[in-house]
Amino acid sequence: MFTVATTDHALRGDYSQAGADFATTQDYAAYTPAEQVLWRRLYQRQIALMPRYAAAPVREALAELDFGAAIPNLAQVAEKLRRATGWRLVAVPGFIPDAAFFAHLARRQFPVTVWLRRPEEIDYLVEPDIFHDFFGHVPLLFDPIFANFLQLYGEKGAEAERLGATSILARLYWYTVEFGLIREAESIKAYGAGMLSSFAETAFSVDDPSPNRIGFDLERVMRTAYRIDDFQQSYFVLENFQELFRALQQDLRPLYARVRAQPEIASDAVLPIDRVFTRGTGAWKRRRRAG
Ligand code: HBI
Ligand code: FE
């Protein structure tokens, strides 16, 4: 068994049937009626937040996909996704090692966990389940520029493995793919899967005065620590997906060297060089500590 970058508890999925690339199969008949009910409950709760909080490409893809009635059958979505951006979905038992994850992304294959959380985990679970992966990540695969960025991220991931820079590059994934914000006319919207699939963090990331909201900068993000067990204390804001795709097209080796030569930036820090959209009050952190 391997431990993954962010958790070292025993992994939940059944890895016994997975191949060398950690691909497995989605046994659709195995989902219980109770799991179908839980899926509908999760979906209805989350889809109601999208008009106000989700970025336009997310809203458009969710409308196109329309998968609220039942747990999605990965094979049924395949043709729509292939036509849109040539991406394929690969069923996986859960978290997979970075190298395998990068290899799938580099081949325009997105790993989707096949199990669904338990009812008592409706508000929080440590590992990604099919609701996080499908509701959070799959809609973004329909955006051509984001889809190209994600494939490039996989290619850069393989290079980062060779350079021992995986944990630096993982910060980019965390602060964009998982918890990214984006400008939309005069407002800020969410596109990160981690908040779009989380009832409480969707509103928190866009509306709450507690966190910082800082203009995206690749080096700044790669220097910034993050927490996996709580809301983010800082979110980074893109102007558009082209900005993210362009940022990753450079040679990252000088960037990795600069990141290693400077101190790590705390997740709640605001620096003089930052383009600040919101200087957070930090109230959530104090409340959490008090709680
Ligand atoms: N595995 N199934 C799965 N899903 C992820 O999002 C994932 C992963 N393994 C590693 C990982 N993410 C992160 O460490 C990335 O930064 C690579
Ligand atoms: Fe994720």
Please check the confidence at residue 51 and state whether its pLDDT lies above 50: yes
Q: What is the pLDDT of residue 291?
A: 55
Helix (H, G, I), strand (E, B) or coil at 89: strand
Please check the confidence at residue 2 and state whether its pLDDT lies above 50: no
Q: What is the pLDDT of residue 262?
A: 97
**DSSP designation for 211:** S
From the CA of 112, give the closest atom in ligand 1: 2
Q: What is the pLDDT of residue 9?
A: 63
Q: What is the pLDDT of residue 10?
A: 76
Percent of the chain at pLDDT > 70 equals: 95
Residue 69 Cα to ligand 2 midpoint, Å, equals 22
Residue 113 Cα to ligand 2 midpoint, Å, equals 10
Tokens of 11: 């992994």
Tokens of 38: 């839980």
Q: What is the pLDDT of residue 8?
A: 52
Q: Of the candidates 223, 236, 237, 235, which has an alpha carbon nearest to the alpha carbon of residue 284?
A: 235
Contact (Cβ atoms closer than 8 angstroms) between residue 153 and residue 140: no
Residue 279 Cα to ligand 2 midpoint, Å, equals 26
Helix (H, G, I), strand (E, B) or coil at 249: coil
Please check the confidence at residue 4 and state whether its pLDDT lies above 50: no
Pick from 98, 176, 177, 228 the residue to mutate for probing ligand 1's pocket: most ligand atoms within 8 Å of its CB. 98
Domains of the chain: 4-290 (1.10.800.10)
pLDDT tens per residue across span 78-90: 999 999 999 999 9
Q: What is the pLDDT of residue 284?
A: 92
Please check the confidence at residue 68 and state whether its pLDDT lies above 60: yes
Question: Which one of the ligands is nearest to 93 CA?
Answer: 1
Q: What is the pLDDT of residue 289?
A: 65
User: Hey, which residues does 215 pair with through a beta bridge?
Assistant: 237
CA distance 40 to 167: 35
List Cβ neighbours of 263 (8 Å cut-off, separation of 6 or more). Answer: none
30 pLDDT tier (thresholds 50, 70, 90) = very high
pLDDT tens per residue across span 197-255: 999 999 999 999 999 999 999 999 999 999 898 999 999 999 999 999 999 999 999 99
DSSP character string of 182-210: EEETTEEEE--HHHHT-HHHHHHHHH-SS
Please check the confidence at residue 107 and state whether its pLDDT lies above 50: yes
Q: What is the pLDDT of residue 229?
A: 87
Q: What is the pLDDT of residue 5?
A: 45
From the CA of 97, give the closest atom in ligand 1: 9
Q: What is the pLDDT of residue 62?
A: 96
265 pLDDT tier (thresholds 50, 70, 90) = very high
Q: Give the residue, 44 or 7, on which the prediction is more confident.
A: 44
